[in-house]
Amino acid sequence: MLNAICYNLLWFGGGFVTGVASFGANLFAVPFVALLLPPRESILLGCISGTAVFAAMSAIYARHIRWGGAALLTAGALAGIPLGVWALAHAGPRALLLGAAFCLGAFLFWQWLPGGGRRPPVGRWLALPLGVASGAMMSALGMGGPALVAYAYLRKLEKEATLGTVNVVSVAIMAVALPWQYMQGLYDGLEIGLGLWGAVFACCGIAVGIPLVRRMDVRLFRKVLLTILALSAVMLLVRGLRQ
């Protein structure tokens, strides 16, 4: 019961973070849930809960989606999903924890990169390899955002276009990854209902967070959030190395 309460509160927090900062639900919730539940279980349940966040955000930013890039990213992701599901099924707790720490570190590195100045955007072809990476990371760790936002950064997409494109691709990935994970028997014995309740709480968090954007210092909030994510990455790294 205590784990269920903590799980739902963490995903409410993840939804709230996304409502305020426009990103971070999986990056926030999955690592902290992994400190309460076995890593594989936290990832699988997070895939269920996180899909609701991706769907909500893609709906909010639907008119900004770059469909050409999204299609190429999704095509690449389809090649990466089998690898990710295989890794999730066979990797031990150490590898999963270190993988999650790597995902967080990659995202934080991207956050601290300069804007790129007058550098021209790279070609759309980059969507295919980064799509493969995102499909593998999303289906293995529930966190494929770093590869997707890397594409947006290199293509110099605006914030709204990035949010719409990244989230709709994430929905497409999970639409394939979730059934694949299920067919591989990875959800056997898991409380799938917990993941569904997490989805509800995450959406509630988004609904609470969005109205507060104009009433709080979002820049300060983002700095605090990035600090929390950095500490989370360190905790995952230390726990993984101790396995």
Task: Decide if pLDDT at 45 tops 90.
Answer: yes
CA 150 vs CA 155, 161, 162: distances in Å? 8, 13, 10
Backbone angles phi, psi at 191, to 5 degrees: -85, 85
pLDDT score for 123: 67
Provide the residue type at 20 as one letter: V
State yes or no: pLDDT of 88 exceeds 80: yes
Whole-angstrom distance, CA of residue 58 vs CA of residue 51? 10
DSSP-H helix ranges across 145-191: 145-155, 159-183
The chain-wide mean pLDDT, for the chain, equals 85
Total structural domains in the chain?
Answer: 1
- What would the mean pLDDT of 24-38 be, rounded to a whole number? 84
- The per-residue pLDDT for range 174-211, each reduced to its tens digit, is 999 999 999 999 999 888 999 999 999 999 999 998 88
Rounded to two decimals, what is the model's pTM? 0.85
Q: Is the pLDDT at 116 greater than 70, yes or no?
A: no
The structure tokens 């995202």 sit at 107
Average pLDDT over residues 72-76: 93
Percent of the chain topping pLDDT 70: 92
Query: In the structure, what pLDDT confidence band is assigned to residue 114 with cuts at 50, 70 and 90?
Result: low
Please indicate whether residue 211 or residue 223 has the higher confidence score (pLDDT).
211
The Cα–Cα gap between 125 and 151 comes to 10
| 3-state SS, residue 69 | helix
CA-wise closest residue to 136 among 182, 187, 95, 76: 76
Q: Are the C-beta atoms of 209 and 17 separated by less than 8 Å?
A: yes
Please check the confidence at residue 120 and state whether its pLDDT lies above 70: no
Residue 44 domain boundaries = 2-242
Whether the predicted pLDDT of 221 surpasses 70? no
Distance CA 153, CA 79 (A): 22
